[in-house]
Structure 1
Amino acid sequence: MHFVVSGRVQGVGFRPFVYRLAQRFELSGWVQNRLGLVEIEVEGSPQHLAAFATALVDEAPPLAQPQILGQMQTSVTGASGFAIRPSVSDARPDIHVPPDYFICDDCLGELFDPHDRRYRYPFINCTQCGPRYTLIEALPYDRAATSMRDFALCPACRAEYDNPLNRRFHAEPIACPQCGPQLLFRNDRLTLAGEGVLAAAVAALRVGQIVAVKGVGGYHLLCDARSVIAVSRLRERKARPHKPLAVMFPNLASVRHAAEMTDDEAAFLSSPLRPVLLLRQRADSPLCVQVAPGLTEIGVLLPYSPLHHLLLADFAAPLVATSANISGEPVLTDNAEVEARLAGVADAFLHHDRPIVRPADDPVFRFSAGAPRPLRLGRGCAPVELSLPFALETPLLAVGGHTKNTIALAWERRVVISPHIGDLGSQRAMAVFEQVIADLQKLYNVMASRVVCDAHSGYASSRWARASGLALNTVFHHHAHASALAGEYPDISDWLVFTWDGVGYGEDGTMWGGEALLGKPGNWMRAASMRPFYLPGGDAVGREPWRAAAALAWETGITWPDLPANSELVHTVWQRRMNTQQTSAVGRLFDAAAAFTGLLSHASYEGQGPMWLEAMCSNSAEDAIALPLNRDEEGVWRSDWAPLVTMLTDAMLSARRRAEIFHNSLAHALLAQVRAVQSTHSVQCIGLAGGVFQNRRLTGLVIDLLTAAGLQVRLAQQVPVNDGGISFGQIVEMGHRHD
């Protein structure tokens, strides 16, 4: 019997599993990796062949996701024994690239077993765990095509690798202290290898120093999360005064001392993904306030690599574990580069000599509407592989937006989405962007013949697309948001998707961000929006939320006494419509609300004002202001935010009360728009897309209102609701245009 198996079958111990299965059922034959497939030929009794075929799927290794593409009878050769044949790369491109996997329980047990030869070895792994995506250079997945190729196996590791009964049988990254990667500790006084390296790193952390640690997909900056001095020093050196920092805890018990956590959240935090998960911080948390100033939530993660387990076990307390990068850039991966670029940030460096082929930052999730929702794709979950409800005629590359950038590559009925790249405002970010584009095409053996980009010609991704020489298509930003959500629910055909975010180039040449789009991918129509207003200062608005508040005050003629000193000049420019943008963006309303309530006039990171505004709210959902709703000359229903400005500038109301009313009013305004659109159009489902719906409070209020009204509501599940999902939305939108 000959089997052709696709799915996630490389880098997950599938061939050794097939070998053991053949031994169990007394079958002879062979198994072989091909490019994206595994082929198996077996001979034996009909009963054993049938049992083998069933077990092939039902008993597959935990990390494997096999699908039998075909099976057929073959002539009996009389062969004896069963062999794993050398890999070949001549099959069609049906490749599945494995993500990086957290350390399994078996390896974790050996890591802390003094009698095991890999005791405290920070690069222990087996067929069921360890790095994959960040060390694979090419497929098929063999050691010679990974960054482990220069580490020759010692006799003991070779014996395990060749032993079908060993769980390291054909484990490509297999290593031990005698033949594998090694750690190196460096500071301005010494360089240390071998014994004492981990102890030196932990000692540095104990005295409040910042240590850059090379992990699976890049470097982390670590410091004591309890220490005001250490965290403040990290913020000062990294020029990151307020942006929240992720914290790595030794175990779930230590997380519970710092954060409120449901059983579902605990299970997800401990899942194979090992994500950064946003949790509500306890009032008696041992973490210093500098970890997440102005917020009620903290980003929590558990150790996922052997090195992290060793560091956390030895330090025995939570550590800040933030990406080692220049703000907004992709995480750093190279030993020399990290020392050069972070010399003024880190006090010490904990390197290793296993090269990281491509960066993969930690994934970030937040529970909303009872389920984990991705905010950032990364290590362990990317590349994300999804199916399309249509077949593409030619391979398509989507280059995403300008911030929170990801890349998507699609061919036939498949699409893969890269890990988070970041903001494309630096030379290094663009270098990683180009590397990821080349990488995806090389790994999946697919060359794009067409590229799709955002309609905003000023985005760095759009400029790259126009210069690529590929056939070009553009997709409007909010069409991509809507299509990304619809792409996760292909059975729904009639949508009303609310695409609320900070800003995006719209069909009419203005900057959208408060739209309700009616229809389906490939055929969206704006049905509702917000009253537009003029924003002064272009991109400066994101860094200076007071500009959004001032614009709303000037539009309505309301006096706002907290205008900064230079506002008169800005007002003059605004009146003359110089360097202004007309926008309907709800994200800018959030910026204005944060400024009106006195939270901040200037932001040090994207989304700071809206995040602080949400954090200020209590759990109550009380009063809401009804926003006037009228239909404009183009038939678009528009909600007028003017009553919100009156409320937000009312000094008789506490800042917390104003923040709560603001959230409640927007939720009710959305419901009013739904009802207005329903008066003239049939709507099967309501979708929530765009970065504003990262806000758990607003999203929860909206879902409660819509559900009470008997409406179906859908949120993104596998793709970020923010601009990290734009590349997927571009693929879905273009596919439906040509379907």
Structure 2
Amino acid sequence: MSLQRRHLTLSGIVQGVGFRPFVHRLAHELSLGGWVQNRSGQVQIEIEGLADTLDSFSLRLIKEAPPLAKPQILENARQAIAQSRRDFVILASHTEDAPDIHLPADTHLCADCRRELFDPANRRFRYPFINCTQCGPRYTLIAELPYDRERTSMASFPLCPACRAEYENPAERRFHAEPLACPVCGPQLRWHDETGEAALQAALSALREGQIIAVRGVGGYHLMCDARNATTVTRLRARKQRPARPFALLFDECGEDGNAMLNEYLSPNPGELTLLHSPQRPIVLIEACAHHALAAGIAPGMRRIGAMLPHSPLQALLAADFGAPLVATSGNLSGEPICLDPADAEARLGRIADGFLHHDRPILRPAEDSVWQCAATPMPIRLGRGEAPQEWQLPGRLAQPTLALGGEQKVCIALGWEDRAVISPHIGDLDHPESMAWLARVVADFSRLYRVTPERIALDAHPHYHGRQHALASTLPLHEVWHHHAHASALAAEYPQIKHWLTFTWDGVGLGPDGQLWGGEVLLGVPGHWRHVASLRPFRLPGGEAASRECWRSAAGLFWEAGLSCPPWHPQLELLRQAWQGGLNSPSTSAIGRLFDAAAAILGVCTQASFEGEAPMRLQALAESLSEGPLWPTHWQTEAGLWLLDWRAWLAGLSDLQIPVAARAWALHDALARAAAELIFLLAVPGETAIGGCGGVFQNRLLTERLQDHLGARPLLLPQRQPPNDAGLALGQLMEILAKDCA
């Protein structure tokens, strides 16, 4: 049998995921000699032995790779040799190659480390920073690649002899685990003057006393309190200036299947349980049990509660020791970015938190919790810790490195070059100065980490979105992308095999090419070539932007557009009507999101929203209490070649006090779904054209379920990797630019 030397180059997620130790173990198992080395984003392997054994090595390299790794063999060069070496080593990392950077995400506490965490005989018993090659922080502590300890925020924590022995032992699962630490040499907790276990116990005592505490985690601070204590939850809402937006809850992973505590309060379906226990450990929206002991203020007016299981050892200790659900909400004032370091947290959260559980492991960049829901299929709502940065292979090559800035709310940026794109974690809404500072920081961070300098910027066409300020300051060429074209193109990126689309792009509002505030549009085509074929009949919004929170304004606009009077929602309603009649600050919109706002106000569900999307969420929760309801008429008509969905026939039903509120809410959802299905028939859409849904409205589970029911066997394609809301705009903007580059 011939001897060979093979040189393999691997790309993908191969750093920060235990890949080199895995290669080392596999080579020793097969008695092969050579070396493995981290390069600038890649892994290089030179390996020698019998040809058949090397074939097996190459196959197992992919098939048996660590769970977090996603390797791709780019090169497998072969050379005949007369004699092979027997030793196999991990070489020091090399940093001078052309970069091929793939950043790993932070990963939840693995089962092995969890067992050790709660094992009194283990030297890391109750150590809140336990980790190994298969778990722990990555994205939030990597300063740059190649991934070695000296290029992470753990560089300031020298390994003790015991940890050094584990780090250098190929038989150990902590072999080359870069965040490796123990109570002797690693980071420590702090609560006032207490450290370590004493600090943890002090924090737990504060929680048991009904206090609110700020806890420094993997990607920033959480505000925590007892989720059963109504007084404390009310106090947290007042201090955080968050009147109604639901709080996420942390549950202990206890019982035989890890769901014992969860099942006391919530009713998860199998898909939701799969998401909860996934390596990303996101927040998952789950229906609450009929009778539970949670405070009423956790999620006012909602049927579902955001739940997560512990993703870090510190969370595992807090959840297990407290023994009941904990509120675990972002450590910030509403609208601000999450706090990262102790000084910033105490300055910004000092009026919210009664105490602070700090630690001294530096957080290099923020990562808020990811949020998902699961109806027929899983759908992301927000991408953060454990999910991002998210990598995409584009269906073509960009002509220039491109930065995409997304929109105004739920902002994520995208950096695209060649046929690659990376999407940042959630940054937030840009109407706050702190968020603009974070935007600039994330842009600079991505450019440095991936060693890609943008040469142009893609941005939303709206002239007043705050991201434009950053774009103009860059002096780079700007390429405007229409809001709903970006939504549709983001969906198309998820299904590259689809050649033609009919896409419902329904959301709050976004500027359309005709100068109107779109949001109930139907687009036909492909990225770069969308044709506007249908829309909700426009109506004018009295007060313009104020209608985004004052839902009664959208309702008044509907009534006045239909020639009807409306309830006395405001003491100066007549003056407002006169301004509306005169066209003063009354922009025209076709947004389904504003239609939902109006319906919520008419039904008395929500006349003034305290957070974006509150009114539609409350309306959906009401409607989901029923399985059927009235069937309202639907009416499409054409004007100037555009199909318009007429909402006027629904005003009577929405206003009918003889019909229960929940039934009216259900009827609106069903009527919209039936109308969408009817449009496909009216347009004679051929079977090979895919039907898609995107925009924030398609987070509405009831609407998507009703639409799929009315479509029958024809599938409704929805986002599965990127959120349907404005978080997906940056990817869609890249797709639009790519289409022009490839034209």
Q: Does 2:728 match 1:722?
A: no
- Kindly indicate whether the alpha-carbon contact (under 8 Å) linking 1:367 and 1:373 is maintained by their aligned counterparts in 2: yes
1:200 corresponds, among 199, 202, 216, to 202
| Aligned twin of 1:35 | 40
Q: Residue 501 of structure 2 aligns with which residue?
A: 495
User: Aligned pair 1:146/2:152, yes or no?
Assistant: yes
What one-letter code is carried by the residue in structure 2 that aligns with 1:152?
Answer: P
- Cα offsets for 1:404-456 (capped at 9, x unmatched): 00000111111111101110011110111111111112111211111100000
CA contact (8 A) 2:271 2:374 kept: no
Unaligned runs of 5+ in 1: none
Residue 537, structure 1, aligned to residue 523, structure 2: no
Report the equivalent of 2:267: 260
Show the counterpart of 1:68: 73
Secondary structure in 2 aligned to 1:20?
helix
Which position in structure 2 is the counterpart of 1:619?
626
2:271–2:378 CA contact under 8 A, matched in 1:
no
Tell me by how many angstroms 1:346 deviates: 0.2
**Any conservation in 1 of the 2:272–2:373 contact (CA below 8 Å)?**
no
Match in the other structure for 2:308: 301
Matches within 5 A, 1:87-166: 87-166=93-172
- The one-letter code sitting in structure 2 at the alignment partner of 1:451 is I
CA distance in 1, matches of 2:308, 2:573: 43
Q: Could you tell me which amino acid in structure 1 is paired with residue 77 of structure 2?
A: M
- Separation in 1, partners of 2:643, 2:678: 10
The answer as to whether partners of 1:424 and 1:430 remain within 8 angstroms in 2 is yes
Partner of 2:437: 431
Would you say the 8 A contact 1:528–1:677 is kept in 2?
no
1:75 deviates by 6.0
3-state SS of 1:524 partner: strand
1:311 matched to 2:313? The reply is no
Which moved further from structure 2: 462-471 or 720-729?
462-471
CA contact (8 A) 1:558 1:646 kept: no
Q: How does 1:282-681 map to 2 (within 5 A)?
A: 282-368=289-375, 370-617=376-623, 618-633=625-640, 635-678=641-684
Aligned residues: 730
How far 1:536 moved relative to its partner?
1.4
Q: Alpha-carbon deviations, 1:187-209, whole Å to 9, x = none?
A: xxxx3223411110000000110
Letter in 2 for 1:207: E
Aligned residue among 41, 46, 50 for 1:45? 50
For residues 128-165 of structure 1, give each alpha carbon's deviation from its aligned partner in whole angstroms, at most 9, with x where no partner exists: 00000000111111111111000011111111111111
1:25 to 18, 22, 30: 30
Could you tell me which amino acid in structure 2 is paired with residue 489 of structure 1?
Y
Following the alignment from structure 2 to structure 1, what is the Cα–Cα distance between the partners of residues 27 and 646?
69
Distance (Å, rounded) in 1 between the aligned partners of 2:658 and 2:496: 49
Matching residue of 1:57: 62
Determine helix, strand or coil for the equivalent of 1:536.
coil
Distance 2:214 2:241 in 1: 16
Q: Is the 8 A contact 2:31 2:86 kept in 1?
A: no
| Distance across 2 between alignment mates of 1:220 and 1:577 | 45
Match of 1:229 in 2: 231
TM-score, with normalisation over the residues of structure 1? 0.97
| Contact 2:630-2:663 at 8 Å conserved across structures | no
Instruction: Answer whether contact 2:400 2:417 (CA < 8 A) is retained.
Output: yes
1:23-74: CA deviation from partner (whole Å, max 9, x where unpaired): 1111121111011110000112223222211221121111111111111123
Q: What is the CA–CA distance in structure 2 between the aligned matches of 1:124 and 1:151, rounded to whole Å?
A: 14
Give percent identity, aligned residues only.
Answer: 52
Deviation at 1:623, TM superposition (A): 2.5
Report how far residue 78 of structure 1 moved.
Answer: 5.1
TM-score, scaled relative to structure 2: 0.97
CA contact (8 A) 1:37 1:91 kept: no
Cα distance in 1 for partners of 2:337, 2:683 equals 42
Residue 690 of structure 1 is matched in structure 2 by 695
Structure 1: distance between partners of 2:735 and 2:567: 47
> How far 1:683 moved relative to its partner?
6.1
The residue number in structure 1 matching 2:222 is 220
Deviations 1:180-237 (A, max 9, x none): 0000013xxxx32234111100000001100000000110000000010110110011
Q: Which moved more, 1:306-315 or 1:660-669?
A: 660-669
The worse-fitting range, judged by mean Cα deviation, of 91-100 and 509-518 is 91-100
1:12 correspondence with 2:17: yes
Check conservation: 1:36, 1:91, Cα contact below 8 A: no
SS where residue 421 of structure 2 aligns? strand
CA–CA separation in structure 2 for the residues paired with 1:216 and 1:667: 41
| Deviating 4+ runs (over 6 angstroms) | none
Gaps of 5+ in 2: 1-5, 254-258
Question: How many Å apart are 1:642 and its aligned residue?
Answer: 0.6
**Amino acid in structure 2 at the alignment position of 1:718:** R
- The answer to whether the 8 A contact 2:629-2:664 is kept is no
Distance 1:211 1:244 in 2: 18
Instruction: Name the SS for the 1:539 alignment partner.
Output: helix
CA distance in 2, matches of 1:530, 1:292: 31
**450-459 vs 76-85, which moves further:** 76-85
Q: Deviations over 1:599-626 (max 9, x none)?
A: 1211111111100000111232333222
Deviation at 1:463, TM superposition (A): 2.6
Cα contact 2:249–2:328 (8 A) shared by 1: yes
CA distance in 2, matches of 1:484, 1:614: 25
SS at match of 2:94: coil
User: What amino acid maps onto 1:407 in structure 2?
Assistant: I
Give the Cα–Cα distance (whole angstroms) in 1 for the partners of residues 422 and 696 of structure 2.
21
Match of 1:272 in 2: 279
- Deviation (angstroms), 1:394: 1.6
Aligned partners of 1:624, 1:478: CA distance in 2, in Å? 30
Bigger shift: residues 67-76 or 516-525: 67-76
Q: Secondary structure, in 3 states, of the residue corresponding to 1:570? A: helix
When the two chains are superposed, the root-mean-square deviation of aligned CA atoms in Å is 1.3
